[in-house]
Every structure is written in C-alpha cells, then in structure tokens.
Amino acid sequence: MKSKRNRSWKISVFALLFAVLAVISIGCASADTIYVPEGGNLTIQQAVNNASEGDIIIVRDGTYNENVDVNKSYLTIRSENGTTNCIVNASNSNDHVFNVTANYVNISRFTVENATGTNKAGIYLNSTQHCNISANNVMNNDYGIYLDSSSNNTLTNNTASNNYYGIHLYSSSNNNTLINNTASNNTASNNTASNCLLRAITRS
C-alpha cells in the first residue's frame, strides 16, 4: 500500500513539473522578433498588426512614410541602427506618427518627423502606462512627444527639436520620469509639472 502511494505521489509531482515546464516553454516561444521590411511586414504598421504581445519589432535602415497605430501591449519597436539611419515620416501630416494606446510599449532609436497638423505629435501616448520612449529624435512636428492622460511612463535620451512644442504633458502628472532629454528650438509656454521626475532637461 505504501509503495503504491509513493508511486502515485511521484507521478503527480512529475505531471505537475511537466505542466509547469510546458507553460514556461510556451511563454518563451511566444515572443518573436519581427524585422521590417521582411516577408509580409513591409511597413511598421503591418508588423504591429501581425505582432503578438511581447514581440520585438526591429526596423531596418530607410525612410518609412506612414502613421503607426500601436494598440498592443508589451511591444518593443526599435530601429536596427539608430536615428540617423531610420526615419519615420508622417504620410498624413494631420495624424500622429506613432499613436500609442497600449501599455508597456517601448519605442526607441527613430527619427520621427512631420506630424505638423494642429495637436499632432511625433510620438503620442494616449492614456498609457509604463511605456518607455528612448533615444529618439523628434523634429518638425506640432508636438515632439505628447503625453495625454498617461502615467508611469519613462522618457530618456530623446531630442526634440524644431517642433512647435518639444515635450508636452497634459493631464499626465503622475509618476512620469523624464531623464536626459534635450529640447531645442521649440516654442514653450505655460508649463506645469507636478509629481514628475525631471532631470537633466535642456532647452535653448
């Protein structure tokens, strides 16, 4: 009787461990790296549409004329070789270049330009949390980077130049962190920042 119980217990433990490992392996396998352009992902928007939460989108060198709606959480979108080599230009100047409406989105290492319509931004965070916007060059937009009703986001090492407004926070006073961003040749007025961490921000 005792040996049967021991055997049954061992089988149960083994089954449990197998199930845990299966879940872990499925979770690890679900995160893909998508390259643009490649296959059916000729544009950044196509890559976003085809991506699943947790995927990484790497954008190769070139100029991409598009407006990108990012509506999936936990996506990372970054250029392969940095801002000089990868430009995202608004195909419709009356729309945001990157319009982010999901949480935990990372966007980095792009030149983002020419969203010149009223209240349009190079990178727009709309009611988001825990997004990371880093090492981008946003230029020639109405707003360079615009946080609207967004909290707990991090902006680091971005350059906002020749926009009407450089970096703008609207109803976004809760725990946004701005570190080592540079804003130059923008118009700025009537700014209020509260409960934000602002460090090493330069304006000229």
Q: How confident is the model at residue 186 (pLDDT cuts 50, 70, 90)?
A: confident
Q: Contact, 163 vs 200, CB < 8 A?
A: no
What is the domain range of residue 153? 30-203
Specify which residues 89 forms β-bridges with.
Answer: 65, 113
CATH of the domain at 152: 2.160.20.10
Residue-wise pLDDT tens digits, 50-88: 999 999 999 999 999 999 999 999 999 999 999 999 999
Q: Contact, 129 vs 153, CB < 8 A?
A: yes
Specify which residues 62 forms β-bridges with.
Answer: 86
**Which residue type is seen at 153?**
N
In a domain, 12, yes or no: no
The more confident residue out of 185 and 82 is 82
In a domain, 1, yes or no: no
In a domain, 143, yes or no: yes
In a domain, 25, yes or no: no
**Which residue type is seen at 127?**
S
Alpha-carbon distance of 129 to 83, in angstroms, equals: 24
Residue-wise pLDDT tens digits, 166-184: 999 999 877 899 999 998 8
In a domain, 52, yes or no: yes
Domain count, the chain: 1
Listed residue (105, 203, 109) closest to 147, CA to CA = 105
Residue 185 has pLDDT above 60, yes or no: yes
Alpha-carbon distance of 2 to 86, in angstroms, equals: 68
In a domain, 24, yes or no: no
130: buried, middle or exposed (CB in 10 Å: 19+, 13-18, 0-12)?
middle
Structure tokens at 95: 């729309």
In a domain, 57, yes or no: yes
In a domain, 170, yes or no: yes
